[in-house]
């Protein structure tokens, strides 16, 4: 079945850029997502990209999609301590066996040091 992989941890210094990477196996993914989870909270949709795009920018966030390599990344510019959280990559194939449900990675814990 479909799979989504992420590294588990990332540590950066405040003010630096953070890059969180994700790989997926479903070549027919329709949408790819980044969700943020702060401690004790639910998942907050940060951004998403349609599979026919290769880049999307939203303020400090830049999403890059390489469909050939099935690689998705999230870049956070000028990372702040408030960005410390777990970041989940997810993919959604509206026409495949997962019937439009999201397939999540295990999450990357971002730690921002002052």
Angle, CA of 74, 76 and 81, to the nearest 5°: 130
Name the residues that contact another protein, by CB under 8 A: 4, 8, 31, 33, 35, 41-45, 48, 50, 88, 92, 94, 99-102, 104-107
Judged by beta carbon, residue 39 or residue 82, the one nearer another protein is: 39
What's the closest the beta carbon of residue 69 comes to another protein, in angstroms?
21
Judged by beta carbon, residue 32 or residue 76, the one nearer another protein is: 32
Q: Which residue has the tokens 């949408």?
A: 31
Strands 55-58 and 85-92: what pairing?
A: unpaired
* Tokens matching residue 64: 């890059």
Judged by beta carbon, residue 70 or residue 107, the one nearer another protein is: 107
Beta bridge partners of 24: 4
Judged by beta carbon, residue 19 or residue 94, the one nearer another protein is: 94
What's the closest the beta carbon of residue 9 comes to another protein, in angstroms?
11
What's the closest the beta carbon of residue 13 comes to another protein, in angstroms?
26
- The sign of the CA dihedral 54, 105, 23, 3 is negative
What's the closest the beta carbon of residue 15 comes to another protein, in angstroms?
29
Run of H or E residues at 108: strand 108-113
């Amino acid at each position: 079945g479909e799979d989504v992989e992420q590294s588990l941890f990332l540590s950066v210094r405040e003010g630096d850029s953070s890059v969180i990477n994700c790989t997926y196996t479903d070549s027919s993914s329709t949408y790819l997502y980044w969700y943020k989870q702060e401690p004790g909270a639910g998942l907050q949709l940060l951004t998403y990209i349609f599979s026919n795009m290769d880049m999307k920018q939203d303020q400090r966030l830049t999403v890059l999609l390489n469909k050939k390599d099935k690689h998705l990344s999230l870049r956070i510019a000028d990372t702040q301590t408030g960005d410390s959280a777990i970041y989940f990559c997810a993919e959604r194939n509206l026409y495949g066996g997962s019937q439009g449900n999201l397939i999540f990675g295990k999450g990357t814990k971002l730690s921002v040091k002052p």
